[in-house]
Structure 1
């Protein structure tokens, strides 16, 4: 039976996180170090120090590695509270892409790789990238992977062009997806490599201009040329990159939803307060049906998103892979939360499109959420494919 009751200690923790974000993090939203390309590393380090001092750093990481070891259900409450500001997850070291990369590394990295690459991430000392997306190759369809790794019996020479590589500028832990070419020395196929960011052959060509600015150091175009990595740099097994990517993406889709739920809830809070005090045509905006219907639609969407997120968190905590269900939630929640932000801009009127409130920034930052970790259309395609495979709709009243 699915139990949506949050334990009292989880409720208390979520309140503490929300208060921390309000009192300590939100003042940084107007800091000049929050640039057009996202918070820079200096701002991140300062925020991480605040969360560490409060005992709120890296809530998702295993306890044995210094994290707080929370399950997915607890993360749902904590990440939503952190998401009240887009800087909240940055401060608490649970923002993308690091959170998803930590999840993957904690499951498939060797002990020596954990020590070198993962532990410093959990401690908040370094950031990471997951270098998969290509301008003319891998993206929503990773099967189009074009980055090559040629093995000569001693080293893999990796060459290719990646873009939209989030946080690449200054990141120290690099996970690189490349296709190991057939060779006489061993297995081949799509493979993950793990290396340091200052390894010769990793060239950051430029930081891309984008409409969002909530990811540390933005998104980059990266070229691999003359990058040589030995077999010790292989992450997991050769040829298993797509399987590992799916292992990472199912929970990562969900944590995206958790964080953005918090941001959308803040938009609703700001719009509601505005509607209470702003008057038009002789009464507060809140008393006009056109406005209060939008607020009601928002509240419905927030409630449905929260329930959907908690259901999939429950599935994951009970050992279900939940790829199908996480696709449903990512497609639904990303679309509905963007509508929430859009309606909040509308309720705020003129100031809604200015930086007088944080709603305008959240609106812009949230729009790419509908694309990251798979656009809505790809998730719908996957959902429909699963329906065809199982031969009937997911309508079993005891399907949960």
Structure 2
């Protein structure tokens, strides 16, 4: 499957919107330590709605563009740290919309999915737990949060950590374990039974609501707000997992591309030792290596997108893409900082932020090492099968 003229037109409109409307907001005073304020989010989404580029990867009839087409569009939203927020393609909302579109009932979609697609609400995905309690992280099977059916409600108790966007979210997807396995629940937020213990100070700062640690105490959820059936939580997590990993790659590819543009401009304007910086081999070669890494990352994204578009789950392929792309984009932004020297580590441009954001990307949705370990296990299984 290839991208269609329709997707290419949408991507072009998104790029123009991000460059002309969104980028000027990158120095807005409403950008705080834990991400842009909800007031800024609402203003940006209003502008995107007026420009016809809000939630651009979902068509007016509710259908999604293919993953390959989505890659084309989301790379353009990523040209600014604020682009995915403005266009409503940011995590965790984008992944949550995808999941609800696949597994929610019609009633659940009307109540919880529609406000997300329309950009009227933000959401949070409550899975990761504190490491100090040996809770779920890279290994979700370690989940400590429990749920118990009491009458016509599920009662949930536990503690979650690094929950992106929980502060200010209106919709939550909470994972917990019953005696029959993992379960997912849709909840309205805020809820007095879900208390934000702290907002964590982290290296990244682009996501509204930051990353919270929350305590869930006797949260009561009606049975009709469970996604699917009891014990299907990990299956549904897999439905969300591969596309969400890949959409991260798409968005951050856009930001790394922008960092490269800024570094190229700097290297061509700056003079040192009698010539332009770009004419010094050490600088020119770094920018050339960036071009190579960006193209390889783009091809890896498109390859994995085609796998998902074929109907395959793409678990291994998305692991490969996540490792290759996150590591390549980190190299790109690191070189951009280096090319720009003191300016690169300052906040005069978004290059410094791009470096921070993509450094965090190497950890969330599975650290590089966990994905490599998973791939290595597959290699061993395949060897064992051939050796029988």
TM range (shorter): over 0.9
Is the Cα contact below 8 Å between 1:200 and 1:226 reproduced in 2?
A: no
TM-score, normalisation: structure 1: 0.92
Corresponding residue number in structure 1 for 2:160: 162
Which of the numbers 343, 347, 351 marks the counterpart of 1:355?
347
Which of the numbers 45, 49, 52 marks the counterpart of 2:49?
52
Distance in 2, Cα, partners of 1:288 & 1:81: 31
Distance in 2, Cα, partners of 1:118 & 1:35: 28
Distance in 1, Cα, partners of 2:35 & 2:272: 37
5 Å matches for 1:247-326? 247-326=239-318
Which of the numbers 122, 132, 148 marks the counterpart of 2:117?
122
RMSD between aligned alpha carbons?
1.5
For residues 15-50 of structure 1, give each alpha carbon's deviation from its aligned partner in whole angstroms, at most 9, with x where no partner exists: 221111011001111111111100111111111111
Which of the numbers 74, 77, 86 marks the counterpart of 1:79?
74
Is the Cα contact below 8 Å between 1:61 and 1:103 reproduced in 2?
A: no
Is the Cα contact below 8 Å between 1:163 and 1:220 reproduced in 2?
A: yes
Corresponding residue number in structure 2 for 1:29: 26
Matched, 1:64 2:80: no
Aligned-partner SS, 2:61: helix
Distance in 2, Cα, partners of 1:49 & 1:76: 23
Change in CA separation of 1:116 and 1:8 when aligned onto 2, cut-off 3 Å: closer
Is the Cα contact below 8 Å between 1:344 and 1:359 reproduced in 2?
A: yes
5 Å matches for 1:318-397? 318-391=310-383
| 1:154 Cα deviation after fit | 3.2
| 1:240 Cα deviation after fit | 1.2
Distance in 2, Cα, partners of 1:392 & 1:347: 47
Distance in 1, Cα, partners of 2:170 & 2:72: 30
| 1:392 Cα deviation after fit | 8.6
Change in CA separation of 1:392 and 1:263 when aligned onto 2, cut-off 3 Å: farther
Change in CA separation of 1:62 and 1:387 when aligned onto 2, cut-off 3 Å: farther
Corresponding residue number in structure 1 for 2:220: 228
Distance in 2, Cα, partners of 1:169 & 1:250: 26
Corresponding residue number in structure 1 for 2:149: 151
Aligned-partner SS, 1:146: coil
For residues 275-296 of structure 1, give each alpha carbon's deviation from its aligned partner in whole angstroms, at most 9, with x where no partner exists: 1111111111111110011011
Distance in 1, Cα, partners of 2:257 & 2:187: 38
Q: What residue ranges of structure 1 are gaps of 5+ in the alignment?
A: 183-187, 394-400
Is the Cα contact below 8 Å between 2:7 and 2:65 reproduced in 1?
A: no
| 1:313 Cα deviation after fit | 0.9
Is the Cα contact below 8 Å between 2:169 and 2:209 reproduced in 1?
A: no
